[in-house]
Structures are given as structure tokens and as C-alpha cells.
Amino acid sequence: VFSSSCATYGIPERLPLTEDSIQQPVNPYGYTKLAVERLLKEAEAAYGLRTVCLRYFNAAGADPDGDLGEGHDPETHLIPLVLFAAMGRRPLIEVFGSDYPTPDGTCIRDYVHVSDLAQAHLAAIEWLAAGKPSLAFNLGTGRGFSVSEVIKTAEKVTSREIPLRLCARRPGDPPVLISDSSKARDLLRWTPQFPDIEDQINHAWRWFSKNNS
């Protein structure tokens, strides 16, 4: 079971993205994920190795019970960085691009809870254990939230004002990435339990508040 990424699609020609969408990555992260997907296809042709590629959209949240969460150093994910700004662990949050063709000008992403991703991994293992064929699955909620919406939701969850600075766009950032994850729902019987961005941020906030070091 391979943790792939929606970054393999690059800048979408149409939305929402399905597993049949053209894969044209625009950044090194997407290139490397796509390279492994192709290597796995070659491994199956040569050795019969069956695989499931799970194309995550934006992983978010933390264990709802507060036992597990992110601990990256350096941290690069938006929601933790926003919460660090709320906690005073960083002076502000930088918003890269406010002139995208989106309702508020900031990038839109499809956020999927880490607990839901874990359940998808279990379902993928069961799929392969049952002798079923190699497939790729999108994992997202099918709903997008902009960077500005994430910040405003975090202010609501934390009851704190979050300072921000508008910056230039970063190369390789598609304006919008939203999933069609119906294939995972239909074949893996996977249904996200925490699709709401407020729940995802709230779980992450509890984790970081508990582990503020």
C-alpha cells in the first residue's frame, strides 16, 4: 500500500479530480510520487506484485482522542503553521498568493482527516488480502477550503486573532485541488468520518495545545 498524492495530477484540466485525470505534476514532490506509482506498475508486470496507491489530498487533523498528532521539524503544512501563529510559536502565517482565480484569491485544497486516511489503509490491505487487483484511489472529501477559510476557521476554533502576511505565489502551487473519491467509497467502502474542516482544525488544536513545546 503506497501513500501517493494528489500532487501527481499537477494543475487540473477539470474538477473534481478522478483517478483517470491526467497526471502532470508541477513540483518535485508530485514527480517523485508519480515515479513510484510507475515503478509499482513495472514491478507488477515483472513480478506479480499487486499494490494499492492511495492518492491523498491534504492530510489534516490529529487523533480525536489527543494521543497522536504531527511533530514535523521543520513544519510545512498549512494547518499546523496557522495554529503555531495562534499560539505565538511563530509571529504570523504567510499566505502565498492572494490573486488566484478563486472566490477569495487564495488557493483551495481538499482536506482529509488523518484518522480517515488510516481507515483507508486498512481497507486497502483488506482489498489486497482478498486477492483483488491493483488500483489507485483518491482520498479526499470532495469539498475544498481556501487558505483564507482555513485561517478564519482556526480563529473561530482557537478564539484568537491570527496575524498574516500576504506574499507572492509559490511556483508549483495549483490554484484548486478537489477530489472525486467515489471510487474509494464504492470499492473500499470508505467514508470519511471527519469531513468538516472545523473538526479537523479542532483536533489538531487540541493536540498542539497539549504538546506545546
Catalytic residues, which ones? 29
Sheet containing strand 176-177, edge to edge, reads: 145-146, 108-109, 176-177
Let me know if 193 is exposed, middle or buried by CB neighbors in 10 A (0-12, 13-18, 19+): exposed
Separation of alpha carbons 158 and 88, rounded Å? 12
Q: Which residues pair with 4 in a beta bridge?
A: 55
Separation of alpha carbons 104 and 77, rounded Å? 20
Strand-pair category, 108-109 with 145-146: antiparallel
Let me know if 144 is exposed, middle or buried by CB neighbors in 10 A (0-12, 13-18, 19+): buried
Could you tell me if 1 and 51 are in contact, meaning their C-beta atoms sit under 8 angstroms apart?
Answer: yes
- Residue 200: other Cβ atoms inside 10 A: 28
